[in-house]
Amino acid sequence: MLFANEDFCKKSWISVYAQTSMKPTPAQIVIAILLVALNSSVTFSQRQIGSGDFKFEVKHRVNAHGDEFNALAQSSDGQRLFTGTEKGDIIVWNVATNRLERTLHQPSAIHLVAALSDPREVIAAGSNHLKPQNALVRKWNVENGTFVDLAGIDTNSFVTGLAADPDAGLIAATGEDGTVVVWDSRTHQQLAKWKVNGVPIAVALLARNVYVATLDQKPSDTPSREGAIVKLNLDDQNQQPTDFLRIAGRMWISLRVSPDRRLLSATYQAGYDEGNTVVIDPVSKAEVGSFDASDSAWIDASRLLLFNWLDPTEIVQFVAGAAPKSIRKFDRMESDTPGRAFELTGQVTSADGSKAWASYSKGPGLLEFDLTANKIKTLITGPSGAYAVSVVTQDGQFGELLTGGADGYVRLWNLADISLLKEYKVAKPGYYVGEAHLLAGARRAVVRLSQMREARDVTEPSEVVLLDLETGQQKKLFYLYSWRARVAVVDNRIIYPEGNRIKITSIDGSESQRELVVNGFIGVTAVSANGRWFAVIDDTKRLTVFDLTTGRKKTIPIKSDDPGPLVVTDDGQHVYHIANEGSLTHWNINTGKATSKFLSRIREMHTRVGFMTLANNDRWLITAGNHHDVGIFDRATSRLVFYMQTGGAAFYVEKVWLNGKRMILTTDTGVMYNGILQ
């Protein structure tokens, strides 16, 4: 989905997981993966992340409800845009007709694309995050759909860099194992292959020279945050790779050659800044210009469009023998949508410099910038986000998993191997699946369909339906009139708040409806894992816990009015509520006593927790929040047991399911992870 509050988003997104800047380029996406992999004791296909008593060993990474736009290129005639996605799609956008022309697909994720001299041809490269990685460098003809795979990169590796020189007919690609390969783009013949020290991050072709940005590795085989630009020559392949440029403290992350092959634009990070771009004369190695910009795109031989974080910010001009000159600066542009895609991954411009296009992995999105009118037009957008998770299992290993998301689908998965069993589009345009509860037997589900909220004053109610997972048929059950209200399903009963009442109704209508009453309007609710206890906080600042088997209740006064997540234990004696920055309140229902403390790491990260649950017989309390983070705490002591951040979220980890040490989590970009706490 589009991310609306951009100012809030920019302040909130702190990527410790990736340890990259706030505006990742395709190279920075690669760096994020490399830093995680190389900092672990395992291979790329067995990546472990997190800190504390455990590491999270990822077994599956699936784009369950959405995609990620990872790269962008422009055809040689300027009439097509090529976007590569995490699902392995090449989206071909026709600039002349302003519409989607076609979509091609390859069997692994696409992280890099490069256009060739023939406007029908594009190179798409990438690898899966986990085994089988199936690294591919593939040349496509987008008109007839034919392709040729270029050999030379280990299929069990990760493709980290891609470049093409259309005039010279050359293609270059790099792998995380240090491999650099160059091919003839017309004959597909491999012309050269080298091994460089460090991890290649980006590559550029300039005449017969190959420039590779590398990330150094420390003696412990972990990456540092600096590196070099290495120079190789096609006509002297026996010469050892040498540092073309190395400056202490700089980590080079992108390389872009000017159309006349005279200048090299290189972006680096120093510390944890958002990026700096320098323009280098490759003959003298002199810096012709230096700019506060996190990436760039050449308009022509003398003009460079600078980007910072998400948007174009300035056009600078280069004239031989003179200092670079700023010829245009851009104010914040007017967008055609209330929100927008996030995390820039590629940028190109029109030949006259009047327009620019950019791809974004989170949202995702392909946007057009009118540099004359100072306006943004959305060409392609998500939606993305996996908001619902429900599991039916006896042992935590085998069973079924149901997810629902921003794309309006519910998807049924095999819990053992996360293979897709069925999918149904259940929400109409403008609506999403906010909740999905899988019923015993995995043949039916209770699903909540809600309107996309561009503002908090949305008045249209959510519709709750019973979905037949054998046929896809829906049966309307009731409406929910509060966007904060949550549905609980216990055995054959649906429990939901309405005003100051809790309604309990049987799914099949075999029982008459019951109602439980509290003093005020119901704000937040929670049901225990065993389905016996139901906790409610109302607007009169009272906490009530109901025994659903008897209807008896216990009410205590409280001080909290924060609408944060709530959980209740299986004995009905303890209720936990989390507010801003990890402020956890515990109420003992028997004594009425309240105690509060701050959860470590959640407070330090200033995380706003959007989801909380209990697991493993209430031993662990789990939080998920807007710094793409998950925390697991010992419920009795509040000790941090495990903490991680994921690069698969723009902001929020939406849901976490944990059984034993098996953990599944979903994100606001629709990515789902399955793995084991080791």
pLDDT at 342 over 50: yes
Name residue 466's beta-bridge partners. 446, 475
Give the residue carrying structure tokens 């060993």: 57
Give the residue carrying structure tokens 């509860």: 437
Continuous segment of H or E residues that includes residue 596 = strand 594-598
Taking only the tens place, the pLDDT of each residue in 137-162 is 999 999 999 999 999 999 999 999 99
Across the range 463-487, mean pLDDT stands at: 94
Give me the half-sphere count of Cα atoms (radius 13 Å) on the Cβ side of residue 89.
Answer: 14
Name residue 230's beta-bridge partners. 212, 243
Q: What is the pLDDT of residue 27?
A: 55
**Spatial distance between the Cα atoms of 10 and 306, rounded to a whole number of angstroms:** 19
Domain count of the fold of the chain: 1
Model confidence at 274, pLDDT cuts 50, 70, 90, reads: confident
Q: What is the pLDDT of residue 669?
A: 95
CA 336 to chain centre: 23
Owning domain of residue 429: 383-482
In whole angstroms, how far apart are CA 584 and each of 205, 240, 567, 635? 55, 58, 11, 11
Q: What is the pLDDT of residue 64?
A: 98
Taking only the tens place, the pLDDT of each residue in 404-429 is 999 999 999 999 999 999 999 999 99
CB atoms within 10 A of CB 237: 12
Q: What is the pLDDT of residue 137?
A: 98
Q: Do you find a cis peptide bond into 383, omega within 30 degrees of 0?
A: yes
Query: Residue 459 falls within a domain, yes or no?
Result: yes
Closest CA to 368 of 391, 347, 339, 387: 347
Query: Residue 458 falls within a domain, yes or no?
Result: yes
Query: Residue 438 falls within a domain, yes or no?
Result: yes
Query: Residue 110 falls within a domain, yes or no?
Result: no
% of the chain at pLDDT higher than 90: 82
Tell me if the pTM is above 0.85.
yes
Query: Residue 619 falls within a domain, yes or no?
Result: no
**Spatial distance between the Cα atoms of 579 and 563, rounded to a whole number of angstroms:** 8
E strands within 604-639? 609-615, 620-625, 629-634
**Spatial distance between the Cα atoms of 485 and 55, rounded to a whole number of angstroms:** 34
Query: Residue 150 falls within a domain, yes or no?
Result: no
Q: Give the DSSP per-residue string, 67-83.
A: --EEEEEE-TTSSEEEE
Q: What is the pLDDT of residue 31?
A: 53
Q: What is the pLDDT of residue 521?
A: 94
Q: What are phi and psi of 87, to 5 degrees?
A: -80, 0
Query: What is the β-pairing status of strands 375-381 and 334-335?
Result: parallel
pLDDT at 471 over 80: yes
Query: For residue 613, what are its two tokens?
Result: 């649950």
Query: Counting every residue, how long is the chain?
Result: 678
Q: What is the mean pLDDT of the chain?
A: 90
Model confidence at 131, pLDDT cuts 50, 70, 90, reads: confident
Report, in angstroms and rounded to the nearest whole number, the Rg of the chain calculated over CA atoms: 27
Taking only the tens place, the pLDDT of each residue in 572-606 is 999 999 998 899 999 999 999 999 999 999 999 99
Q: What is the pLDDT of residue 21?
A: 31
Q: What is the pLDDT of residue 217?
A: 80
Query: Residue 9 falls within a domain, yes or no?
Result: no
pLDDT at 29 over 70: no
Continuous segment of H or E residues that includes residue 60 = strand 56-63
Query: Residue 425 falls within a domain, yes or no?
Result: yes
Q: Do you find a cis peptide bond into 364, omega within 30 degrees of 0?
A: yes
pLDDT at 9 over 60: no
Q: Give the DSSP per-residue string, 112-162.
A: EEEE-SSTTEEEEEE--SSSS---EEEEEETTT--EEEPP-S-TTS-EEEE
Closest CA to 156 of 44, 58, 39, 40: 44
Confirm if 488 and 496 have CB atoms less than 8 A apart: yes
